[in-house]
């Protein structure tokens, strides 16, 4: 098979799999009134709600999600408008915006595990089956992060 064949391209397989996963999540996310990028933001903020980093800032969120602040700011504004997130200026550096989950955001988190289990069940996916793939993707992401920009 030709090395430039589409079926041999890891980048295409990752792209196609990502699109399919997002599509599968859509009904669950519609029920939560979140887009997929908003869901990713909420996942990090829920983590931080339990174990906050020293600086729970937009910059730290961007580093965690591999996104820039220009992408995050509109997402965070919509999440704040929906009552899920609180944003406030740092008292030490007014350029920094600190983030926290609101009580409404915590209530939303409590709904997610059951919906996620239902989603996986509907697609016949056992979470244990995903662990080796997750580990391989983590290793790939680490290696790719080491490449020069």
- pLDDT at position 93, please? 79
Domain-located, residue 1? no
Domain-located, residue 64? yes
Q: What is the domain extent for residue 55?
A: 6-145
For the chain, the domain total comes to 1
Domain-located, residue 25? yes
**Residue 71: pLDDT band by 50, 70, 90 thresholds?**
very high
Domain-located, residue 115? yes
Residues 102-146 pLDDT 10s:
999 999 999 999 888 888 878 888 888 889 999 999 999 999 999
- Number of neighbouring beta carbons within 10 Å of residue 127: 10
Q: By the 8 A CB rule, do 102 and 84 touch?
A: yes
- pLDDT at position 117, please? 85
- What average pLDDT does the segment 45-52 reach? 94
Vertex 52 angle, CA 143 and 72, to 5°: 65
Q: What is the value of pTM for the model shown?
A: 0.90
Overall size of the chain counted in residues? 149
What's the CATH code of the domain at 33? 1.10.10.10
Domain-located, residue 44? yes
Domain-located, residue 87? yes
- The structure tokens listed for 131 are 């662990």
């Amino acid at each position: 098979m030709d090395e430039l064949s589409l079926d041999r391209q890891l980048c295409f397989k990752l792209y196609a799999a990502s699109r399919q996963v997002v599509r599968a999540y859509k009904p669950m996310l519609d029920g939560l009134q979140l887009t997929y990028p908003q869901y990713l933001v909420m996942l990090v903020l829920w983590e931080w709600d339990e174990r906050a980093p020293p600086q729970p800032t937009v910059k730290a969120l961007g580093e965690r999600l591999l996104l820039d602040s220009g992408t995050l700011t509109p997402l965070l504004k919509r999440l704040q408008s929906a009552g899920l997130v609180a944003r406030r200026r740092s008292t030490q550096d007014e350029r920094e915006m600190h983030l926290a989950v609101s009580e409404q955001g915590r209530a939303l988190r409590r709904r997610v595990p059951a919906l996620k289990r239902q989603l996986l069940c509907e697609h016949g996916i056992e979470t244990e089956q995903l662990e080796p793939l997750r580990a391989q993707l983590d290793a790939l992401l680490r290696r790719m992060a080491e490449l020069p920009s």
